[in-house]
Structure 1
């Protein structure tokens, strides 16, 4: 449930429930008060009636008569009886004797006869006493209502306590929910962020699917991504350090050779020797230039630069890629064979694809003896593989070319074992250790892999004793 939904529910609970509670308590108190008031009124009427029979005696109101009214012990604290003559003179009071003989006006005397006056503190009734049709006196009975008032106050206090208890209970429950749903997860998140900032790996568990849960899950996801990126950065850093060490080592040998032959040239040498030394120096310079070119290409490919892709027609493009290598092979005494069975269109970076074929063919030439063969080919879905592709590899290659084109470069070179095959595309790895002094930088095949993968393709190596090695690159065709 979303936090805004929880907050809406809390708002309704905080507003509605106290109002309903207050209204219910008010109705209960009012009803109890009415019941108590009705009960007290009935009781008072009975108490009035008990004394009215005595007070309704005309003899009590004769001038000079001795008045003695017996009041029950239970009523002495709560009842006041007053007798007035017909002309308003107070002739008897059950409590205040000092007021006897005082006179009130006729208006005050006769006002409210037969009517029971009720208040929070007392109930009062006045009635006249007759002899025939003549009023001889008036009695007034007053009863305190302290019990009813006390009961009302007690009920009201209980209602206040109940209302307070309900309110505190609601606040407590809501505070607990808010604490569990919002405060605790935020505290955990804050702690985790501080610990993560100090380099400690800490996970937060949150099963809720509200905004807090999304925030915690977002933090966990961000943390995992940062850790993964840190690992990648560390890996790249290690690779750069290894690259610097490898390049420094590989540059040291040709630089040493250049220095030695340069010193020899400065000496007294024949023209023939000078020509020989110059050729060696130029050869070492070409080697260093190739190494620097490979390093530059590898650095560019591993950076986040933007590639420019163009759409090309398959047959025409691969005919251009495979052109020119027959002369290189002829100079080495190697037979070069090519085949193009390709249709459709492809999105490529032309210069990088030229580098792919150049690296693969150069690698094949460097690892093929004179008199043997090198084959290159491009095959799309509707073209069959040629016989020079071993049947053992055809099923996987045919599966690859169903959605595009496969570029195959095969040489009759030495078998590459499984351990070497796993490492052959790593930077600076040289699988033929005997060629280290005269071979390339060890970046050629890793550059090929980077280019193919950045084209959305796949590269595979197939090797078999007595057959040779096949490098297979897959590129997806442009969907119409």
Structure 2
């Protein structure tokens, strides 16, 4: 239940419960009083009978009647009575002497009210009856009996009522406090503990199985989601910072070699004036190659940084897939013939694509040159562009079909496969990191290159809304697969 609805319902119940409890207590009190009154009347009715019999004498209903002398014997601390003439004049009262009690007049409407009806009051019973003399009304007597047992139990009943009321309010307050603690205080305390733990940098607790469905549960879930997002962002920032530090360190290390070479040859040119022209030209060519190598490394670093920026956008154009990819992959045929590689090219697509041609050419170039670097002499290299419905080429690793089919659902894949030593599975993902290259055991060194080629290729694929992965085996070599969305 939503917290606001629960609070509204709780407040309504808290307001109505005392009213309901008071009404129930009042009803029980009235019921008990009526039952007790009946029991008392039955118990004391025997004491009414002799008094009624004595008061039913018409001669008593005269002013200063000598018969009044026997009446004091009928009265007691619990029983009193009054005698009235039909005109309303009181002729006798057991509560005083004859002279002081007579002469008091009661209105007729009051005198004749509730005749024959037993009146049950809080402290007394009263009964009024007429007295007849040969068919004529001689007078009216009123007997009042004190409810002694009831009065003696008032203090006990008052104690029970007050105690019950106090117990009821204590239970009500405790229940409301427990519900508020369960609904509000405990979740707020849990949220505060999580906030303090997050501020101290502690790891969050394990997510509990019982998820609340009210506002506090939503708040806790949102805070956990925010905490997870912040931690992921922090981890990503730390990763990027370490990546930048590694790039700077690697680039500084890579630039030392050409710089030292340039410095050495420049010093040789400036100091050795006797060098022959051919030798001096050779020195200049070495300096120019090293400068070009440095420019290439800096250019790749600039491209890698630009592709990693969230603000950079590529100017996409729509192209016809078969024509563009045949032109793109066909340009590598001469390179393979020159280096004596067996290159197989396959383009199977009729889709349209939104691409950035220059960056996609850079992606393909990086993958092809990476394949050429690892392929042994006279080895085979395969290039293919296959859309989501076409069959894979025959020269591809057939074991990849089960993995590539879900990977290329609704997308076209670009495959660059080369023969050569297999890359260990634990390095297949790391080689996409900057300045991480596969170590070739037979060469006892790294394969060469700037170390940013595959990282740039993956970032270009991500900018196109795709992805890039690698598969490797001893029999078929390594396959770099780039996935591109189809229009």
TM-score over 0.5 (shorter chain): yes
Does structure 1 residue 452 correspond to structure 2 residue 461? yes
Does structure 1 residue 259 correspond to structure 2 residue 259? no
Q: What secondary structure is seen at the aligned counterpart in 2 of 1:459?
A: strand
Describe the shift of the 1:376–1:129 C-alpha distance in structure 2 as closer, same or farther (beyond 3 A): closer
Which residue number corresponds to residue 478 of structure 1?
Answer: 486
Total equivalences in the alignment:
470
1:167 CA displacement: 4.8
In structure 1, C-alpha distance between the alignment counterparts of 2:446 and 2:130, rounded to whole Å = 142
Which residue number corresponds to residue 367 of structure 2?
Answer: 360
TM alignment of 1:77-476, pairs within 5 A: 77-81=77-81, 94=94, 96-97=96-97, 100=99, 103-105=102-104, 112=111, 115=115, 118=119, 119-123=121-125, 141-145=143-147, 147-148=149-150, 158=160, 162=164, 165-203=167-205, 205=208, 207-211=210-214, 212-269=216-273, 270=275, 271-305=277-311, 306-326=313-333, 328=335, 333-335=339-341, 337=343, 339-345=345-351, 346-367=353-374, 374-380=381-387, 381-382=389-390, 385=393, 389=395, 395=401, 399=405, 404-411=411-418, 414-418=420-424, 422=428, 423-431=430-438, 439-454=448-463, 455-462=465-472, 464=474, 469-476=477-484
1:52 CA displacement: 3.8
**Contact 1:428-1:442 at 8 Å conserved across structures:** yes
In structure 1, C-alpha distance between the alignment counterparts of 2:84 and 2:397, rounded to whole Å = 138
In structure 1, C-alpha distance between the alignment counterparts of 2:319 and 2:283, rounded to whole Å = 46
Unaligned runs of 5+ in 2: none
In structure 2, C-alpha distance between the alignment counterparts of 1:106 and 1:338, rounded to whole Å = 136
Does structure 1 residue 76 correspond to structure 2 residue 76? yes
Which residue number corresponds to residue 13 of structure 1?
Answer: 13
Unaligned runs of 5+ in 1: none
Of 179-188 and 359-368, the range deviating more from structure 2: 359-368
Describe the shift of the 1:276–1:328 C-alpha distance in structure 2 as closer, same or farther (beyond 3 A): farther
**TM-score, reference length from structure 1:** 0.78
1:291 CA displacement: 0.9
- Alignment root-mean-square deviation, CA: 4.4
Describe the shift of the 1:167–1:267 C-alpha distance in structure 2 as closer, same or farther (beyond 3 A): same
In structure 2, C-alpha distance between the alignment counterparts of 1:86 and 1:448, rounded to whole Å = 124
**TM-score, reference length from structure 2:** 0.77
Describe the shift of the 1:288–1:103 C-alpha distance in structure 2 as closer, same or farther (beyond 3 A): same
